[in-house]
Amino acid sequence: MALRKFFDHFNEGTFLVFLFEFLFLSVQFQRLFHYYSNARK
């Protein structure tokens, strides 16, 4: 399985950091989106 080999190359810590970065950015973008939509009203 290529995917399994790919994840083996990944450091578990690095993957967790990447995951948290992604979640943090998603929250930030949602906050910006709500802010702009509220400012338009």
pLDDT string in tens for the chain (41-residue length): 677 776 676 667 787 888 899 999 999 999 999 999 999 87
Check residue 3 and give its pLDDT.
Answer: 73
If one counts the domains in the chain, the total is 1
Per-residue model confidence (pLDDT) at position 38: 93
Question: Helix and strand tally (H, E) in the chain?
Answer: 2, 0
Tokens 């810590």 appear where?
A: 13
Residue 11's domain spans which residues? Answer: 2-40
